[in-house]
A and B are shown apart, each in its own frame.
Chain A
Amino acid sequence: MKFQLNGRAVDVEAAPMARLLDVLREECGLTGTKEGCGEGECGACTVLMDGEPVCSCLVPFAQARDTAVLTIEGLGGTHALQEAFALEGGAQCGICTPGMILAALRLPAKATREQVRIGLAGNLCRCTGYEAIYRAIQKVVDDGGLTLPAAARIIDGPPT
């Protein structure tokens, strides 16, 4: 199955009804996407699919065909949100962090506190009480705003 993964065209062999989560973790070796509940409640497995956050535990791999999938590995470790999460204590145990950061990428560029609360309501964090996550996002908003990386969308037309 052909799709775009973190900005690169890929062709991955896997069962069409396999969970996208398992394909990313096992076939593609990208273990930054985490399983928290397997039922779409916790958001730990959030990835961006054509720029929209999805719970990869609920997405059959077949639906990934010809889409752009962005995982935490696609941010390279130095994205402004990653640095802000590190600095402001947005990551404690870290298991919700990849999904939380990906969900936060899709917030309005100058998101208000209320927009952040609503936008992240599908991502559970049991460590922080969310306050440090709000502070991290606020820092990025103050420093120029949230932007969606180019790799979140199909880059040169549909991959061939």
Chain B
Amino acid sequence: MGVVGTSVPRKDAAEKVSGTARYVDDITFPGMLHARTVRTTIPSGRVTGVRLDFDQTGFTVVDWRDIPAAGRNIIDLIVHDQPCLVESEVRHVGEAVVLLAHDDREKLLQATVEIDYDRTEPLLDAERSDRIHKHILIEKGKLDRGFNQADLIVEGEYRTGHQEHIYIETNGCIAVPEANGGVTIYGSLQCPYYVHKALVTLLGLPRHLVRVLQTEPGGGFGGKEEYPSLIAGHAALLALKSRRPVKLVYDRGEDMWATTKRHPSVVRHRTGVKKDGRIVAMEIDVLFDGGAYVTLSPVVLSRGCIHAAGPYRCANTQIDGRAVFTNTNPNGAFRGFGAPQTQFAMELQMDRIAAALEMDPAKLRLKNVLRPGDSTATGQVLGDDCSAEIVLREAIKRSGWRRKRVALDGTDRGIGMALFYHGSGFTGAGEVRLASECAIETTDRGVRILTASAEIGQGTRTMHAQIVADAMGISYDEVDVAIPDTAIVPDSGPTVASRTCMVVGRILERCAHGLKEELRGMAPGEHHRTKGPLKVTRKYEPPPGITWDDDLYVGDAYATFSWACDVAEVALDRDTYEVKTTKMTVVHEFGRAIHPVMALGQIEGGTAQGVGYALIEHVVMKDGAMLNAQLTNYTIPTTLDTPQMDTIIVDNPYPHGPFGAKGVGEIPMDGPAPAIVNAIRHLGIDVTEVPALPEVVMRAVNAGRGRGGVA
């Protein structure tokens, strides 16, 4: 009997529950130094001087001049605009200028470094920025023709704020200098090969002299996708200069203040509808605040724009998106990657349209929902893997929508919904360009999986082992999973984009089939012991019939999508304007669950993050810096803030995923915020932004009173 579809014990469970799992801060090396990053405190200007006002005995001090001549002072990602260490120009608060290392942490913290600046006027408002990191235009049909057919045009403007990842383990790396002139990195990171590439460029070292190993990461959520390249670079420079191992672990305040966050957004909608609810034109304008460097903004914007029209049919659609420069910390990868922002706007717009038509919001969605045979905004024609209508109908039924929507009218409780989707894997031709590679090798007790996919809590090791065990017809216990270590694992791409199961898992399934064939019926352990080791490597192959035009933004944006519908029930305290989510009904289709307990964990955890995004997670920015960089002042959901969840997993096996699986990692983040804000709208309160803090709700109530609203 196979293990796919069953909840086998996690490969990492015993270590994690016993406290023996080794996170980066749990690891020490003989002679190891501790490190500290000295950062800019102004958002815009030039560094004119750096004063080291302390006794430098025993210190290693690094600035940009310590970058080897063969290297380059850049973080090698998409655009080469971000320095590893500031030379002169300052673009945001929190940029690294000087690095210090010492074996005594007290002395390290006491060292005072003064930086002198010439200040310039910062650009802090994205809506006033004309410096564009990336522009994307998606056009389908003819917008004018669509609006001419419309009986009614509905407009809306929607805003979302920053969001902090708050992985409970802060960022950290250890760099160890090697005798051969190279460097080894141990780090809490999602993408070993991103760090590898960045270090090769920064240090000017040949590829084989840079080695990156993943330590157990205590959560990532995108926050350990691109940023660890900076930390690893800093630790490596200190290690190469001091010739000692160097540990650089951020404290919570620094992690919140200095690292990336979710892109804030402003999304404007203009929608043409017929009286019966059919959408005939959608004009969508997307603005993301990218921050001071390009980093991943082009791809975040891309995913945001592709998902901006929601899971709805419309013949005439235009999506015009920009990610712009501001003098704030670069915003980066965060679970959902642009899609939570744009789908928040789309789902609020749907309820606004429903209100304008005096139609039930569920009925409006049923009228326009994408069905097999329909096409998305990029012209992607959907097949039987489209389950938008199925999840919508299931959520309506399961939540008691029709009854509650009427029964709660005029009370202090509301019910709202969001229908949403999320593309699995890299956007467009991204997976073909990545050309990920995986391998499986025999061991004396079975096989070992070799991928660069990080276990960040989601269950990578376990899920991959299940796929390989069943594909080879061997037991789960015979399958080991190598720690991502660039010295031994091939580049199977980053651990992002809901791709680790569907894309990497599929390559592993093909490796397993290949290895099984080469074993000719022999058990892998026995073969290894008697005939020597065997290793099979496979590269990514796109599913048949996928086409994508990167210039026109037309075609199959993703091989497939996962689909979901959330129904939120909320209660309003009319004295404090505090909104509490009392229940979430959550229906997801992501092909098939390889491990139901872990899949449920992804959905419930992502939903909780979405609840926080909706109601309480508020990054306060002042003069370009986060003012509330403390868990005391930036709150995430506790047990008391997290609603009861009724979660339903709908099966619809996807023929090109391993054992029918698609991606589930990010989609749970897309729906809770719009579902909750739509439930607030059910109370007669027109909130159009998140987080919907009590102040925001109060303002909306007062504005509604002014207009003779019902609240």
Which residues from chain A sit less than 8 Å from chain B, CB to CB?
25, 30-39, 41-42, 44, 71-73, 75-77, 82-83, 85-98, 101, 116-118, 120-132
In the complex, the answer to whether B26 meets A126 with C-beta atoms within 8 Å is: no
**B638 within 8 A of partner (CB):** yes
In the complex, the answer to whether B17 meets A124 with C-beta atoms within 8 Å is: no
Most buried by B among A32, A34, A71, A131: A131
Q: In the complex, what distance in Å separates the CA atom of A125 from the CA atom of B608?
A: 10
15 contacts between A and B (CB under 8 A): A41-B631, A83-B17, A86-B10, A92-B219, A92-B457, A93-B218, A93-B456, A94-B16, A95-B168, A118-B640, A121-B638, A121-B640, A129-B605, A131-B647, A132-B600
In the complex, the answer to whether B636 meets A117 with C-beta atoms within 8 Å is: no
In the complex, the answer to whether A128 meets B168 with C-beta atoms within 8 Å is: no
Q: Closest CB of chain A to B255's CB: distance in Å?
A: 9
Chain B contacts with A in 587-624, Cβ cutoff 8 A: 597-598, 600-601, 604-609
Complex interface: chain B residues within 8 A of A116 (CB) = 639
**B18 within 8 A of partner (CB):** yes
Q: In the complex, what distance in Å separates the CA atom of A117 from the CA atom of B600?
A: 19
Q: Which residue of A lies closest to B632 (CB)?
A: A41
Chain B contacts with A in 155-196, Cβ cutoff 8 A: 165-170
**B9 within 8 A of partner (CB):** yes
In the complex, the answer to whether B14 meets A94 with C-beta atoms within 8 Å is: no
In the complex, the answer to whether A39 meets B631 with C-beta atoms within 8 Å is: yes
In the complex, the answer to whether A42 meets B631 with C-beta atoms within 8 Å is: yes
Q: In the complex, what distance in Å separates the CA atom of A64 from the CA atom of B631?
A: 26
**B521 within 8 A of partner (CB):** no
Which residues from chain B sit less than 8 Å from chain A, CB to CB?
7, 9-10, 12-23, 25-26, 165-170, 216-221, 251-252, 456-459, 597-598, 600-601, 604-609, 630-632, 636-640, 642, 645, 647
In the complex, the answer to whether A34 meets B604 with C-beta atoms within 8 Å is: no
In the complex, the answer to whether B167 meets A93 with C-beta atoms within 8 Å is: yes
User: Interface of chain B, helix or strand or loop or mixed?
Assistant: loop
* 15 additional contacts (CB under 8 A) given A32-B20, A36-B252: A37-B631, A41-B631, A86-B14, A86-B16, A92-B219, A93-B219, A94-B216, A94-B218, A96-B218, A117-B639, A118-B640, A124-B166, A126-B609, A127-B605, A128-B604
Q: Which residue of A lies closest to B607 (CB)?
A: A129
Q: In the complex, what distance in Å separates the CA atom of A91 from the CA atom of B605?
A: 11
Complex interface: chain B residues within 8 A of A128 (CB) = 601, 604-605, 608
Q: Which residue of B lies closest to A87 (CB)?
A: B9
In the complex, the answer to whether A86 meets B9 with C-beta atoms within 8 Å is: yes
Complex interface: chain A residues within 8 A of B168 (CB) = 34, 36, 42, 44, 93, 95-96, 124-126
Q: In the complex, what distance in Å separates the CA atom of A130 from the CA atom of B638?
A: 8
**Which of these, A73, A86, A127, contacts B219 with CB under 8 Å?**
A127
In the complex, the answer to whether B598 meets A31 with C-beta atoms within 8 Å is: no
In the complex, the answer to whether B631 meets A127 with C-beta atoms within 8 Å is: no
Q: In the complex, what distance in Å separates the CA atom of A120 from the CA atom of B219?
A: 19
Complex interface: chain B residues within 8 A of A76 (CB) = 18
Q: Which residue of A lies closest to B9 (CB)?
A: A86
Complex interface: chain B residues within 8 A of A86 (CB) = 9-10, 13-14, 16-17
